[in-house]
Structure 1
Amino acid sequence: MIKKKGVPAVTESLIQYARHIQSEYSDVSLIFEPDAASEVESSLNFTIYTSSDYADLPAKVDMTTTLGGDGTILHASSLFSTTLHVPPILSFSMGTLGFLGEWKFDEHKRAFREVYMSGAEAGTPFYQDQKHPHVQASDGSTIEPSVTGWSSVRGKSMGPNRSSKVLLRNRLKVGVYDAAGERLDGHDTPQNADGDVHAMNEVIIHRGKEAHLAIIEVFVGGRFLTEAVADGMIISTPTGSTAYSLSSGGSIIHPLVSSLMLTPICPRSLSFRPLVLPANTPITLRLSEKNRGRELEVSIDGRRRSRGVGVGMEVRVCGEEITKGGDWGGGVPCVMRGAKSGVEEDDGWVGGLNGLLKFNYPFGEE
């Protein structure tokens, strides 16, 4: 269980949610982050668990619940940033914007019940409905509808019109390399693990405090594309297309579109436009020798690496592969509402554009 910090109302809601689960689903063990556990333990009369060793979480957690905003969801995703298997995230919108948050907290009893009664186990394949197209693996092969996209999670006793769904949000696979081509460790990740790190939203390389524009060599699919002179570059997922990339002039992409976006931040050339590329396209950003600054900052899902990248160093990014077969892997599965009886299906994305982002909202109107 993960909550937004510093908000008493969120803490009270977390206590209420934990009490409900314990009273109705006593076979479920609750794991809290250390800070949250210290806040709620005196208000709960049953055993709760906590762990500061995030490397153990993938083996212990079957589902993650977040109470907060989009940043809380990104934090939850980052706890599993070095593993292929991310547990489903059930998110309650209690933050500032909440574009990614699917459920209102008043619906917490229904939301958890629909997931619990689905009978699905961790690692269950996702089953796509006919409305949404399938995507491609990083090797270009077709992913069958049974392992990605929307999943129908129908409870055994709930009826066909009360199903929740799972939206599999694609991630980026990120590696940072020195000038000699050696991979740098992932000591900035919660797991302190070596190897690739995965991003749910975006990877950002930025000039930071440097006074001069960054000069970045951009390679797409192994071929040189351009030398960017800009404040920085953003590589984002469709989920991240409504974040920093959008503020920098990037397109808004539906989360079911298998793609990634390359967006410049304040480029010197007005002809440098954002690009939308297939998800399996490898992108390399290399700090040019012409760069006048000492190093650039690198941020992954809002978490800045303690060490930046210097001249000749590279940030290599590609869309994460969605593995086939019964033992699925890749992506961040998010629990969404199902369609109600007599109501046309809506994944909430259009409503989010209108209600939260005020898409094409006229000036001067209340």
Structure 2
Amino acid sequence: MKIALYGQYYKDNTEDIIEKVLRVFDRYAPQVLIEANFYTVLNEKGLLPKPFDTFSEHEELQEGIDLFISIGGDGTMLRAATLVRDKNIPIVGINAGRLGFLATVQQENIEALLPQIFTGGYKISSRSLLSLDYQGMSPEDSALDFALNEVTVSRKDTTSMITIDVKLNGDHLNSYWADGLIISTPTGSTGYSLSCGGPVLMPDVTSLVITPIAPHNLNARPLVIPDDTDIELRVSSREEQHLVSLDSRIISVNVETVLRLKKAGFTIKLVEFPQEKFLDTLRKKLLWGEDKRN
């Protein structure tokens, strides 16, 4: 088996996580590649017992890689998705931060769960993405024109509201007066959209969520739409530009630019272990059942 390893270094627990991962690797002897920056940090900390091959970019992920391991939080998982892209390499998230919805393997469970990737004791959860296109998009932005969690439009350099005109399949939906607007995938429904009052979607539903950010009109509510909908956004503002974010990547775009969003033509494959299912994570994260009256 060939495994790519990527992560962020956290002084509190990365050493322990790497030691546990390497112990599992010693038992099953996979071929391992480590992302170059992460490799440098681990080497400087003396955490690697031997040299490993490295990679830096999406293009350097060789054919035949069976698994991609991300060590960090959900943000690290989102960056891992930009490396994997459309290569259909399953991603395992080892959580080095707070409880996350994407990085679900907890530090204390590494040696119990990680061996299951070698024995087939897991299933694949395919996650849909959003793609973005607009006239004048740079080649650099076009190369990363997708989002696993959400695409967000928001104001820039102003405290005034912006107006976001929305069309669905060519039909006018609404003109939102708000600080911004979130278009969320099912995966992203537990993120920014949830904090703005959006609903939680199960990962395998074929829907998207439109969630306004601090709307001027209180009757502007989140809306669930089919994920095969073609979405057009056009922002009006007192400023010359507004912001568009694809997960954690931010672009400045001229106002009145027509943004075209649709479901991406590929999915991100996440590894799900029987012991760390989405509903288990949801209960833990939202503290369901903590109320003693339940």
TM-score past 0.5 threshold: yes
Equivalent in 228, 250, 255 of residue 311 of structure 1? 255
* Residues 20 and 111, structure 2, Cα contact 8 Å, conserved in 1: no
Find the aligned partners of 1:361 and 1:205 in 2 and give their Cα distance: 35
Deviation at 1:169, TM superposition (A): 1.5
Which structure dedicates a bigger proportion of its chain to helix? 2
Find the aligned partners of 2:19 and 2:259 in 1 and give their Cα distance: 41
Equivalent in 64, 86, 89 of residue 87 of structure 1? 89
- The residue aligned with 2:58 is 54
* Residues 174 and 317, structure 1, Cα contact 8 Å, conserved in 2: yes
Deviation at 1:166, TM superposition (A): 1.2
* Residues 88 and 268, structure 2, Cα contact 8 Å, conserved in 1: yes
Find the aligned partners of 2:92 and 2:15 in 1 and give their Cα distance: 17
Q: Does 1:107 align with 2:109?
A: yes
More moved, 195-204 vs 106-115: 106-115
Equivalent in 25, 28, 33 of residue 25 of structure 1? 28
* Residues 15 and 40, structure 1, Cα contact 8 Å, conserved in 2: no
Q: Does 1:14 align with 2:8?
A: no
* Residues 123 and 272, structure 2, Cα contact 8 Å, conserved in 1: yes
Deviation at 1:89, TM superposition (A): 0.9
Equivalent in 175, 188, 197 of residue 145 of structure 2? 197
Deviation at 1:108, TM superposition (A): 2.7
> Normalization by structure 2: what TM-score?
0.88
Which structure dedicates a bigger proportion of its chain to strand? 2
Over aligned residue pairs, what C-alpha RMSD do you find?
2.4
* Residues 18 and 47, structure 2, Cα contact 8 Å, conserved in 1: no
* Residues 58 and 86, structure 1, Cα contact 8 Å, conserved in 2: no
Deviation at 1:32, TM superposition (A): 1.9
Q: Which 5+ residue runs of structure 2 have no aligned equivalent? A: none
Q: Does 1:293 align with 2:239?
A: yes
More moved, 347-356 vs 239-248: 347-356
Find the aligned partners of 2:14 and 2:277 in 1 and give their Cα distance: 23
* C-alpha spacing 1:195/1:74, structure 2 compared with 1 (3 Å): closer
Give the fraction of aligned pairs with identical amino acids, expressed as a percent: 30
* C-alpha spacing 1:37/1:15, structure 2 compared with 1 (3 Å): farther
- The residue aligned with 2:221 is 273
What CA deviation, in whole Å up to 9, does each residue of 1:308-333 have, x standing for no partner?
11122122211224xxxxxxxx2111
More moved, 258-267 vs 71-80: 71-80
Q: Does 1:4 align with 2:8?
A: yes
* C-alpha spacing 1:174/1:361, structure 2 compared with 1 (3 Å): farther
Count of residues paired in the alignment: 287
Q: Which 5+ residue runs of structure 1 have no aligned equivalent? A: 119-162, 189-193, 322-329, 340-346
Deviation at 1:231, TM superposition (A): 0.3
Equivalent in 67, 72, 76 of residue 71 of structure 2? 67
* Residues 169 and 333, structure 1, Cα contact 8 Å, conserved in 2: yes
Deviation at 1:62, TM superposition (A): 2.6
* C-alpha spacing 1:58/1:266, structure 2 compared with 1 (3 Å): farther
What CA deviation, in whole Å up to 9, does each residue of 1:62-117 have, x standing for no partner?
3111222211211111223xx42331011222212322223223333443332223
* C-alpha spacing 1:281/1:271, structure 2 compared with 1 (3 Å): same
Residue 109 of structure 2 aligns with an amino acid whose one-letter code is: E
Find the aligned partners of 1:332 and 1:279 in 2 and give their Cα distance: 15
Q: Does 1:38 align with 2:40?
A: yes
